[in-house]
Structure 1
Amino acid sequence: MRIALALGDAGGVGPELAAKLLAHDDMKALDVIVVGDARVLEMGARHAGVTLDLPRIGADQVGPDMAPGHVLLDLENCAVDGMTLGQSSAHAGAASLQNFGCVLQLAGAGIADAAMFTPFNKHSMRAGAAQLCRRDRLHRRGAERRSQRARVQRPGGGLERPA
């Protein structure tokens, strides 16, 4: 059984709980894809007083034929510098949402048999969702503008892409 584990809110207990869980003897025999930022998991391990040595992988290395054991899919999406524990932040909320979305994709694609997550902060997630939506809107607008520039008017009145 392969489990996909999303790191929850970096400003809360999620990283510490994830580190304790991964270090527990009952978890060592399981295949686990930890999804989140390596810096957040390292911070959690320090707070939990455990040592983790998870190989880091990129999205291109994720698949049904992965080697067994624990791995960290490092999304590099949540710097811990300047983060205050116990305080909500849009940055941590956006990372939590990305982590959770990735875990659901892994389970939906059949790469993971189960999806788990450590605690989220609803306030951070709401602020993070707004941040992600703004970023997505800006990205979509830029893509639409590029697409419009790539089209030229045909003599008959229709649109065509330049050769």
Structure 2
Amino acid sequence: MNHSPDKPVVALTLGDPAGIGPELIARLLSRCDLMAQANVVLVGDAWLWEEGQRVAGLLTPTVPIASLAAVRRRADPATPAFVGVDTVQPQQVHRGRADAAGGASVLAVLDRCMDAALAHEIDAICFAPLNKHAMKQGGLRHEDELHHFAAHLGVTGYFCEFNTLHGLWTSRISSHVPLKDVPKYLDKQRVVDAATLIYRSLQADGVATPRVAVAGFNPHNGDGGTCGREEIDIIEPAVRELNARGLPVVGPFPADTIFLKARDGELDAIVTMYHDQGQIAIKLMGFSQGVTVQGGLPIPITTPAHGTAYDIAGLGKANVDATANAFAIACRMGHAYRDGQSLFGQPQ
């Protein structure tokens, strides 16, 4: 396949040095069909990239390049570019273990990519799995990587994490917070913002009129108020407001049956009220295929929904499917971003 000048520039990272990320990226870059979708640049430590190829049993050619600023000017982007950085030494990495050195490495590489995004040098980022505990040991000051991205990129509007699987997207009103705190996050405006954000994001991914539904909060959708009034007082008014704004969002539907509609192909997206309400269902439907999209940022950022899989790191067993899916979404949304579409309501 031939590359063309209008291909989006997509930055890839190797993820946690102690996990399966380097192996996954080696497998991904060996897929010529996928690489043809973008002007790809890999950012990471040279020794770690070599180690990833060794574990995968693949030798994937890359073209060394001085900086991310030079990627867009490449005359022939058919071969992925490689920007080498020095963030961690081999002796600091203990395979299969969350360490501060590995977490600091992840932060340094991602920050470099985000700086390039702010300078309009790249159009999307796809990162290999990271470990939040390692990142917090290594200097992460936020509850998760999404909040770190938002702070670094200067986001002031609503943002949230999406999980996707085979064309189904989910978002949530609350994310990485204790379950006892979830009711504090449940208000009408957050439901409106979450549904609007996932609707616009699906449009950026190529779905012209997304079919979006909202899940209830209480068992049996509150049973008319006898089992909780959040559906009556918060969620239903939010759906009415969304409809008044011209968004064909439906719901709320009981959380224990809404995913049956999704399974049967009736929905493109579900807005859930808290982390496990959607995550359990979507991971059960296809754990090795899912993708996380960092919603509400000014640039597309994606990653496989699974973790670092420390237990199989270095064994050459990692499944690249979710990473390939994450890369494909980054390419599609990066194309929209490159074409001047303002993603997720954030200015470019």
Compute the TM-score of the two structures, normalised by the length of structure 1. 0.72
* Secondary structure of residue in 1 paired with 2:114: helix
Equivalent of 1:51, from 52, 59, 64?
59
Q: Give 1:22 shift.
A: 0.8
Q: For 1:43, what is the secondary structure of its paired residue?
A: helix
Residues 73-84 of structure 1: pairs in structure 2 closer than 5 A: 73-81=83-91, 83-84=93-94
RMSD value, Cα: 1.9
Counterpart contact for 2:68–2:116, Cα < 8 Å: no
Q: Tell me, in whole angstroms, the C-alpha distance in 2 between the residues paired with 1:48 and 1:54.
A: 16
- Deviation of 1:47 after TM superposition, in Å, equals 0.9
Summarize the Cα distance change of 1:21–1:98 in structure 2 as closer, same or farther, 3 Å threshold.
same
Equivalent residue for 1:144? none
CA distance in 1, matches of 2:60, 2:139: 30
Runs of 4+ in 1 over 4 A off after TM superposition: none
Q: 1:127 to 1:82 in 2, by over 3 A?
A: closer
CA gap of 1:117–1:71, structure 2 versus 1, over 3 A, is: same
SS in 2 for 1:81: helix
Structure 1, gaps ≥5 residues long: 131-163
Sequence identity (%): 34
Equivalent in the alignment of 1:11 = 18
Which protein, 1 or 2, shows the higher relative CO under an 8 Å CA cutoff with sep ≥ 6? 1
SS at match of 2:12: strand
Letter in structure 2 aligned against 1:56 = P
1:109 aligns with 2:116: no
Measure the CA separation in 1 of the matches of 2:70 and 2:108: 16
| Partner of residue 40, structure 1 | 48
Alignment of 1:1-163 (within 5 A): 1-29=8-36, 30-59=38-67, 62=70, 64-67=72-75, 68=77, 69-81=79-91, 83-129=93-139
Please give the alpha-carbon distance, in whole angstroms, between the structure 2 residues aligned to 1:19 and 1:54. 11
Tell me, what secondary structure is at the counterpart of 1:18? helix
CA distance in structure 1 between the aligned counterparts of 2:42 and 2:114, rounded to whole angstroms = 12
Query: Any gaps of 5 or more consecutive residues in structure 2?
Result: 1-7, 141-348
Which residue is 2:174 aligned to? none
Give deviations 1:81-133, integer Å, cap 9, x for gaps: 35221111111111100111111122222221111100001111111117xxx
TM-score, normalised to structure 2, is: 0.35
